[in-house]
Every structure is written in structure tokens, then in C-alpha cells.
Amino acid sequence: MLTIFLSRLLRMVIVMLGISVITFLIFFATPGSDPAARIAGRNAAPETIAAVRHDFGLDRPLYVQYGLMMDRLFITRDLTSFANRGQKIVPTIMSAAPATLSLVAGAAILWMALGATTGIIAAAFRNRLPDKILMGASMMAVAMPVFWVGEMINLVTQSRLHDTWAFSWVPPLGYVPLTSDPAGWFFALVFPWICLALMYIGLYGRMLRTGIIETYQEDYIRTARSKGLSARRVLLKHATRTAIIPIVIMFGMDFGVLVGGAAVLTEVVFGINGVGRLTYQALKALDLPMIMATVLYASFFVVVANAIVDVLCVMIDPRMRQK
């Protein structure tokens, strides 16, 4: 067990190293684009570009540039934005993280609960009306762009029906920190949670349904039924337990990706000042170091989430220990 854990840790570090190199190369060595000119912003004077080039060490060899950048990101943590002068990048990202975490964690609880319910009910009523309705709704949920759903939610709750009894409690767009006002935090996040969770409910529901139906072909299910266990017990205790493993793996990936900033669209539509919106604003200001830092932060989150999921799977499923 310990060796599995340690080898996974080592692999995680190697992957992170590789990711940092790839990210660095995308931003600073893409052929045909001059990073100094990008950092300096639109219509910058040649002197400014030269100053940027010297400041970021872009006149040195590539591996020195890489070393300098990693040093300023992870060791001294004093990388500053050029577009927003004086703004330190690492602390800015850290202060945006709680908003993103609040959004994603709440949505995750919602989508895991409703996704599992959808999948189990659909599998139990396979090819009958409840199954067809649920799968049709899931397909719709997967087909809608998340930011469009957000816009439509805003249209109804903030404008068209805001003055009616149904939605008058919806606070204006934005994020309220949990520590300052727990109730305000909750109410402000209700619709962002629903918006973000919708697609995943559809996705996970469909996946779980397929998984359960496939496990029903296995011999141990037949054995369980012939032992005289009730259909309900076999569905919930035997089939679902096996079918949920790929869902757990996918959940780890999705959660990591979203906390890392893939919730950018939801954050932008609902005005939540998280990591994703930070990336969006950096994008508008062409703040290259900030974007690079958020992308790195995001991918590290995914790598850590994957490693945790792998270790969890080994703990849940003894079959994986053999490898």
C-alpha cells in the first residue's frame, strides 16, 4: 500500500514538472509570437517592450527564463502583473480560490446526489416512461451551453420575474464570502450551483444508467438474485456499487478541473470573483503572466485530484491493488 502511494506521489511530481514546461513553452516559446510584446500590452512603446524583455529575462536562454519564472511563481512568489501594476499574482489567485471552491463544492454535492438518483431510477425503469423522460432531460441538459443557461436564469430571476414572489429573494449578481454572511453566501450561490450542476447531472446520470445496466450482465448479479435477495437490494447494494467506481474517477477529474478554473463561464455570467473570472479579466487585459499562473494552478489541481482519486480507488476496489 505504501509503495503504491509513494510511486503515485513520484509520478504526480513528474507530471507537474512536465505540465509546467508545456505551459511555459505555450506562453513563451510559441513560434510566431513575441511574448514581450504581448506582456507589454496593446500599442506599447518599443522602450516598454524592451523593459519587459529585460524584466522577465526574455533576453536570456530559454531554460534560464523557465527557471526564473518558476522561481518567481513558487519560491519567492513575487511575480507581479504587468497589466495591473503592483498586483502580486500568487496572493491574488489564493484570495480568489474560496469563491471558486464554494461554487464548485456546492454544485458537486448537487450533481452527485441528483446524478446518482437519475441514473439509478432510469436503470430501474429501463426502457419505460420514467427512464425515457429522465434520459431525454439529461440529453437536453448536456446540449445546452452552460453560460447560456446562466444567462437565461438571470433573465428570469433578475429581470422578468424578479418582482414576483418566486424570485424576489434572489440577491443581485456577485459573491458574498461565507465568513461574512453565511445566509447571503447561500442565497447568492443557489442559482450558480444549479446552473453549473445541470450538465453534470445529465452526464453522470446517463453514465451511471449505462454502468448499472452493464453490471446486470455479470454473473454475481445473477447469483445475488438466485440467493433470493430482493431486486431493490441487488440494484442498490450490488449493481450500483460496482457501477459507481467510474463515476468516482470522473468526479475527481471534473472536480479538479472546475476548482482549477474551468468554472470560468459560470463565474463570468454570475459575476463571482473566483479563479475563473480572474483568468477572464486577465484575458481582457492581456495579462499574460496572470493567465499562465492560473493555468498552472488549474492543472496542478487536476493532477492532485487525479492522484487522490487513484489512491481512493485502490482503497475501494481491491482488484486494482494487483497492478
Nearest distance, CB of residue 158 and other proteins, angstroms = 8
User: In the block, which residue shows the cell 511574448?
Assistant: 35
Site string for other proteins, 195-214 (x = CB under 8 A): ---------------x--xx
Distances from the Cα of 127 to the Cα of 130, 132, 204, 228, 283, angstroms? 8, 6, 18, 25, 47
Of 260, 271, 255, nearest in space to 151 by CA: 271
Q: Which of 40, 299, 309, 310 binds other proteins (CB under 8 A)?
A: 299
**89/26 Cα distance (integer angstroms):** 19
Q: Does 265 bind other proteins (CB under 8 A)?
A: yes
- The size of the interface with other proteins (CB under 8 A), counted in residues, is 58
Q: Which of 280, 109, 263 has the alpha carbon at shortest distance from 186?
A: 109
Q: Which of 285, 267, 289 is CA-nearest to residue 276? A: 267
- By beta-carbon proximity to other proteins, the closer residue of 9 and 152 is 152
Q: Say how far apart CA 78 and CA 90 lie, in whole Å.
A: 7
Q: Which is nearer to other proteins, 26 or 133 (CB)?
A: 26
Closer of 158 and 242 to other proteins (Cβ): 158
* Rounded CA separation 162/167 (Å): 5
CB 254 within 8 A of CB 299: no
Residue among 95, 159, 223, 230 that touches other proteins (CB under 8 A): 159
Per CB under 8 A, the list member of 6, 64, 109, 139 interacting with other proteins is: 139
Sign of the torsion angle spanned by Cα atoms 130, 136, 139, 145: negative
Verify binding: residue 93, other proteins, rule CB under 8 A: no
Among 1, 2, 3, 32, binds other proteins (CB under 8 A): 32
Among 140, 231, 315, 320, binds other proteins (CB under 8 A): 140
Q: Which of residues 268-297 bind other proteins (CB under 8 A)?
A: 268, 279-280, 283-284, 286, 288, 291-292, 294-295
Binding mask 47-86 for other proteins (x = CB under 8 A): ----------------------------------------
CA pair distance 234, 123, nearest whole angstrom? 12
Handedness of CA 100, 106, 109, 115 (dihedral sign): negative
Q: How far is CA 294 from the centre of its chain?
A: 13
Q: Residue 211 belongs to what H/E stretch?
A: helix 182-215
Residue 158 found at the interface with other proteins (CB under 8 A): yes
Query: Does residue 174 touch other proteins according to CB under 8 A?
Result: no
Neighbouring C-beta atoms of residue 46, cutoff 10 Å: 9
The reply to whether 227 sits near other proteins by the rule CB under 8 A is no
Residue 191 carries which side chain, given as an amino acid letter? F
Which residues in this chain contact other proteins in the complex, by CB under 8 A? 15, 18-19, 22-23, 26-27, 30-33, 35, 37-38, 42, 127, 139-140, 142-148, 151-152, 154-155, 158-159, 210, 213-214, 216-217, 257, 260-262, 264-265, 268, 279-280, 283-284, 286, 288, 291-292, 294-295, 298-299, 302-303, 306
